[in-house]
Amino acid sequence: MRAALLIVLGLAIGIVGTVFTMNALHERDPLPHAVMHLMAFHAGQLKQELKAQRCDAGTSQHHLVQLQAVSSDIAAAFAGADEDFIKAADKLHAAVNGAVQSAPADCPALAAASKPINEACQSCHEQYR
């Protein structure tokens, strides 16, 4: 009875240790998560501007430029990703470039500029998330 209890206890400790080790190995490269969090922050700020109907040209341009910079890092952050993922990242970067170049000055222009960005994000997340 005592031997069985020690075996079960040893297995439980081994499972817990394995879970902690796997989580530590999974989280050793924070860059992919950081890139996605930054993208979500700036895209969220643009959505809040649209929702509140307070679309300041300077603020919108700032968030779009930041999205442009971060979207250029997706391929490097997700090194080793398959080619379709890299193509989706390039599509997103192109959409952000178009929005930056359009320099939306009001809410309707920001909504039009944001639509391709949101579609690119959504299609990628549906496939890879």
19 within some domain: no
67 within some domain: yes
Give the closest residue to 56 by CA, choosing from 109, 114, 127: 109
Query: What range defines the domain where residue 63 resides?
Result: 29-126
Q: What is the pLDDT of residues 46-74, one digit of tens each?
A: 999 999 999 999 999 999 999 999 999 99
Q: Are 127 and 92 in contact (CB under 8 A)?
A: no
Tell whether the model's pLDDT for residue 44 goes beyond 80: yes
Q: What is the pLDDT of residues 71-115, one digit of tens each?
A: 999 999 988 888 999 999 999 999 999 999 998 999 999 999 999
CA distance 92 to 80: 18
Q: What is the pLDDT of residues 11-30, one digit of tens each?
A: 889 898 888 888 777 667 78
Total domains in the fold of the chain: 1
65 within some domain: yes
CA distance 67 to 38: 8
In the prediction, which pLDDT does 41 show?
A: 97
Q: Report the CATH number that the domain containing residue 117 is assigned in CATH.
A: 1.20.120.10
In the prediction, which pLDDT does 27 show?
A: 67
105 within some domain: yes
21 within some domain: no
**3 phi and psi, to 5 degrees?**
-65, -40
- The pTM of the full predicted model, rounded to 2 decimals, is 0.77
